[in-house]
């Protein structure tokens, strides 16, 4: 990821539907970033759901490293935090909006998790298509697969998204209760009690980190 002196990277987690794993991956990225020594913050714009903010239970559980999480009502309020951190992670409410576009314009990377069902893949592709129509470069848009049940399901979803013209991160998160249990206790998906599941989560999060690093050479324009 970017060195602190180069200005913060902004990663926006967006979706067309709720329940696809935005907060899950935002937490995973934040944990790995802070563990590596970066100053990272999760900005939760989904004031109705507040899933990322609920992760303050990490402090109650005494889990290290501590992660900064805060709710914001507007994109401008969240983006103002960029001067204080090396990595700003923004959890955007589901469905396209002017706020989604504003954050996407500033983001180094726009990440959209999706479930592998066609009922989820179709709307997910339409959201990215809308962002491209609004002027967001395709290179900044990337998918991650979540709630996967089988390898065949993963491959089918990956092919669908690639045929739609979008990049998909390596790895995926299988649908496992251990991931939910870890988050219920303030941990990320890389901090479960099962090494094999941690390894799967690490592969996906590392793929995301690698993409953020790659985009660091092509920063987005700052907001007006």
Domain residue ranges in the chain: 4-215
Instruction: Domain 4-215: give its CATH code.
Output: 3.40.50.300
Q: Which of 120, 20, 22 is nearest to 11 (CA)?
A: 22
What length does the chain have? 224
Question: What was the pLDDT predicted at 3?
Answer: 42
Question: What was the pLDDT predicted at 20?
Answer: 86
User: Which residues in the chain land under pLDDT 50?
Assistant: 2-6, 222-224
Question: What was the pLDDT predicted at 51?
Answer: 66
Question: What was the pLDDT predicted at 218?
Answer: 56
The DSSP secondary structure of 118-180, one letter per residue, reads: HHHHHHHHHHHHHHHHTT--GGGEEEEE-SB--HHHHHHHHHHHHHTT-EE-S---B--HHHH
Q: Enter the pTM of the model.
A: 0.89
pLDDT digits (tens, 9 = 90+) for 173-192: 999 999 999 999 999 999 99
Question: What was the pLDDT predicted at 50?
Answer: 56
Question: What was the pLDDT predicted at 19?
Answer: 83
Q: Which of 98, 166, 102 is nearest to 128 (CA)?
A: 166
């Amino acid at each position: 990821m970017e060195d602190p002196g180069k200005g913060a990277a902004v990663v926006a987690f967006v979706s067309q539907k709720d329940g696809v794993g935005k907060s899950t991956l935002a937490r995973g990225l934040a944990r790995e970033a802070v563990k590596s020594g970066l100053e990272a913050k999760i900005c939760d714009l989904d004031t109705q759901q507040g899933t990322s903010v609920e992760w303050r239970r990490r402090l109650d559980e005494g889990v290290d490293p501590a992660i900064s999480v805060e709710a914001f009502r507007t994109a401008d309020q969240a983006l103002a935090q960029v001067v204080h951190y090396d990595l700003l992670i923004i959890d955007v409410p589901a469905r396209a909006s002017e706020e989604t576009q504003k954050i996407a314009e500033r983001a180094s990377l726009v990440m959209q998790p999706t479930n592998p069902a066609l009922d989820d893949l179709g709307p997910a592709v339409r959201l990215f298509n809308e962002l491209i129509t609004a002027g967001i470069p395709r290179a900044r848009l990337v998918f991650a697969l979540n709630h996967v049940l089988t390898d065949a399901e993963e491959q089918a979803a990956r092919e669908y998204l690639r045929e739609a013209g979008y990049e998909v991160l390596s790895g995926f998160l299988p649908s496992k209760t251990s991931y939910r249990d870890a988050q219920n206790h303030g941990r990320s998906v890389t901090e479960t009690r099962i090494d094999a599941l941690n390894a799967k989560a690490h592969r996906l999060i590392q793929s995301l980190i690698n993409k953020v690093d790659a985009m660091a050479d092509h920063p987005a324009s700052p907001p007006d």
